[in-house]
Structure formats: C-alpha cells, structure tokens
C-alpha cells in the first residue's frame, strides 16, 4: 500500500464536488447491471463502525421495479424518479450484527456491542447514511450524476421491498446521466467560519 497520497487533480475534484450537482432531469441513456456492480464495489470500501456494513441497496432499473416503487413516492419526486435510469434504495439491516463474525473476524465478539436496541438503531442508521454517501461518490467517480432525496413513504416501501426482513429504508438516490439544461444556479453553502471550529 502506498502511504504517500497525492492530492487529486482539478478534474477529479470538479467531478466529485466542485462541479457536481443534484440532478432531477435525465438523459435517455441506460445504466447496466454491470454499472450497478461497479458502483457498489467502490462504495463498499468506505469505512463503517467495526466494518459492520449495515447498508443494503436495492438497484431499481427495470420498469417492473419502477412500478413497484412508484406508489410510495411523493408527488414532487415522481417524475424525476420515473425518468431516471436507476434509482437506489439506501436501507439498513437492523440485524447487521449477525454478519460481524464474517466482517470483523479478528474480534467476532464485537457483535455484542450492538445488542442494545438504541445502539443498534443508531449504528445502523448512521452507517447506512455514510454508505449512501459513499455510493454517491462512487457513482460520480464513474461518470454518473446523482439526485439523492427523501420524499417517500418508508413504511409502504419497506413492506413492498423488505417484507419479512429487518431492513429499513433510509433514503433514495436517482443515478444516471444528468440533463443540465434545467439546472438552477448552485445554492449558497455556509462559510467555514459559520459551520466550523478549530479546537
């Protein structure tokens, strides 16, 4: 492993952050099953608590999958999701600790750390949120655009997609090749002084 890291070039920073935008309109270009796998293979490498990896992803790219998702979308998210070539449900498995012996083999007893209900819920939600962010960066790094969103009925969605499991939805991400013609100017962000402290 190379321990000396070089700063990413301007082009990479633009693709990941500086020029990246949240898209609602999409070009008519498909995303393949192989593309979905490539996105996940990068996203899965991001760190999580005790390597617990509680996130579970549903890659929805077929008309049947979109029809299954459609009833649970808010009206404001309906058109942009139906037109996106791919929508990912970012969810978390509340039984994630069952996989700790496999994922944290040098200390399998770490599964007990997550037995208390409050710790389990907090860990699953926090780390699946992290993994959803990794998914966005992975997709952007491969040349795709993203549109993460809330605005859906989580109870209905969970019943439709995760019935009989302990998996709960967190948020959705539309992925594809964004159509920039309808983008609004980038909204303001807080300055370093407003959002940060150095202690």
CA atoms 71, 22, 44, 53: torsion sign: negative
Task: Confirm whether 23 is domain-assigned.
Answer: no
Q: Which residues contact 186 (CB under 8 A, 6 or more apart)?
A: 21
For residue 1, pLDDT over 90 is answered with: no
Task: Confirm whether 8 is domain-assigned.
Answer: no
User: What percent of the chain stands above pLDDT 90?
Assistant: 97
Task: Confirm whether 184 is domain-assigned.
Answer: no
- Total Cβ atoms within 10 A of residue 18: 11
63-101 pLDDT, tens digit per residue, is 999 999 999 999 999 999 999 999 999 999 999 999 999
Dump strand ranges (E) for the chain: 55-60, 86-93, 145-149, 167-176
List the one residue out of 167, 171, 169, 159 whose CA is nearest residue 98.
167
Number of domains in the chain: 1
Query: Which residues form the domain of 60?
Result: 39-177
8-67 pLDDT, tens digit per residue, is 999 999 999 999 999 999 999 999 999 999 999 999 999 999 999 999 999 999 999 999
Q: Check if the beta carbon of residue 130 is closer than 8 Å to that of residue 44.
A: no
pLDDT recorded at residue 3: 76
Q: What is the CATH number of the domain that holds 126?
A: 3.40.109.10
Task: Confirm whether 144 is domain-assigned.
Answer: yes
179-192 pLDDT, tens digit per residue, is 999 899 999 999 99
Task: Confirm whether 197 is domain-assigned.
Answer: no
95-144 pLDDT, tens digit per residue, is 999 999 999 999 999 999 999 999 999 999 999 999 999 999 999 999 99
């Amino acid at each position: 492993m190379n321990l000396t890291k070089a700063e990413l070039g301007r082009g990479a920073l633009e693709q990941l952050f500086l020029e990246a935008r949240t898209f609602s309109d999409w070009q008519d270009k498909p995303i393949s099953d192989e593309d979905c796998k490539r996105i996940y293979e990068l996203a899965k490498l991001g760190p999580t608590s005790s390597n617990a990896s509680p996130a579970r992803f549903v890659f929805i790219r077929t008309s049947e999958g979109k029809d299954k998702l459609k009833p649970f979308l808010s009206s404001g998210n309906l058109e942009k999701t139906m037109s996106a070539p791919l929508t990912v449900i970012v969810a978390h498995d509340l039984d994630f600790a069952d996989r700790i012996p496999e994922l944290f083999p040098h200390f399998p007893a770490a599964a007990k750390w997550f037995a208390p209900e409050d710790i389990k819920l907090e860990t699953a939600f926090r780390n699946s949120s992290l993994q959803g962010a990794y998914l966005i960066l992975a997709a952007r790094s491969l040349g795709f655009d993203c549109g993460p969103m809330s605005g859906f009925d989580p109870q209905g969605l969970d019943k439709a997609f995760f019935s009989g499991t302990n998996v709960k939805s967190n948020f959705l991400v539309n992925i594809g090749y964004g159509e920039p013609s309808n983008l609004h100017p980038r909204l303001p962000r807080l300055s370093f002084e407003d959002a940060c402290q150095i202690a």
